[in-house]
Structure 1
Amino acid sequence: MFKGTVKKLLDEALNQREDLFIIDFDVLADNTIKVVIDGDKGVLVEDCMFVSRAIEHNLDREEQDFSLEVLSAGATAPLTKYRQYKKNLGRTLSVKTIENETIEGTLTQANEEKILLEWKAREPKPVGKGKVTVKKQAEISYDAISKAQVVIKF
């Protein structure tokens, strides 16, 4: 019952701010509310405050004691939603597949079923000595991804 009320308040807040979306939401046994959000253009502290106030100001502490945490998905948090992939187009991802293969490349496409990674590799020339740079790509369905993260480069 309490979780349903909180979820309704969260959905109402996110309907006002369509640039924000839920990554994770849970209400623990001790009434700790945990909300992790992300945004199409990132998340500011003000965005977390907006979601927090939308929930907190519409619950009665006399009726239900609770604690509330609203946080943004961190830069190194795994990607779990299509919108996260879409907002990271052009960035380098490290993707581990369910076959335990790790692929690192630039995310060039993301639709609702799959992603496309592209990268360059050095391979032996077909004829003669030496190596040649070739462009590679991998189309990976979301079902085949066990973990995907943005690679932070300095």
Structure 2
Amino acid sequence: MKQEIVAGLLEEALAENPSLFLIDLSIQADNQIQVVIDGDQGVSVNDCIAVSRKIEHNLDREEEDFSLEVTSAGVTAPLQLPRQFKKNLGRKLKVTLAEGILEGNLDQVEEDKILLSWKAREPKPVGKGKHTVNKEVWLPLEEIKEAKVMITF
């Protein structure tokens, strides 16, 4: 199965719904095609069906047998693209960096960095005890090893 052919059909399918975007396309040696998509407003089952049909109906099973799976990025899947970060503005993230892990609210997203904020208890500058301090840090996307949305119930 030619990756270029499938990628072209996928591009056409995504052009029909500009709120959808590609996370991953893989084609195994046994022609098992796996597509993972996400959307600015989420991904519905109908979105997956539409993308699947666009690809499947333009490939000839007589020429080459294949299996096709179109799924959405799961709620527990790490964020990979700046567009996914933008979609999750205001949500709490768990971000893994080389130096450790940060948890905080995603307050801003720019093309190559995100702003994370959180509250921390720190010793008072004068006297005994602790006080709550608002913290924030800009994190370059290239320094983020993994970022996941934290689901709270």
What secondary structure sits across from 1:38 in the alignment? strand
Percentage of pairs with the same residue: 60
TM-score by length of structure 2 reads 0.98
Residue type matched to 1:120 in 2? Answer: K
- Equivalence for 1:83: 83
- Equivalence for 1:124: 123
User: Aligned partners of 1:98 and 1:61: how far apart in 2?
Assistant: 46
TM-score by length of structure 1 reads 0.97
Deviation at 1:98, TM superposition (A): 2.4
Q: In the alignment, does 2:133 pair up with 1:103? A: no
- Equivalence for 2:37: 37
Residue type matched to 2:111 in 1? Answer: E
- Equivalence for 1:74: 74
User: Aligned partners of 2:4 and 2:135: how far apart in 1?
Assistant: 46
User: Aligned partners of 1:98 and 1:144: how far apart in 2?
Assistant: 7
Residue type matched to 1:147 in 2? Answer: E
Structure 2: gaps of 5 or more residues: none
- Equivalence for 2:12: 12
Structure 1: gaps of 5 or more residues: none
User: Structure 1, residues 39-64: CA drift from partner, whole Å, max 9, x if none?
Assistant: 00111111100100010011111111
Query: When the two structures are aligned, how many residues end up with a matched partner?
Result: 153
What secondary structure sits across from 2:23 in the alignment? strand
User: Aligned partners of 1:98 and 1:87: how far apart in 2?
Assistant: 25
User: Aligned partners of 2:122 and 2:150: how far apart in 1?
Assistant: 23
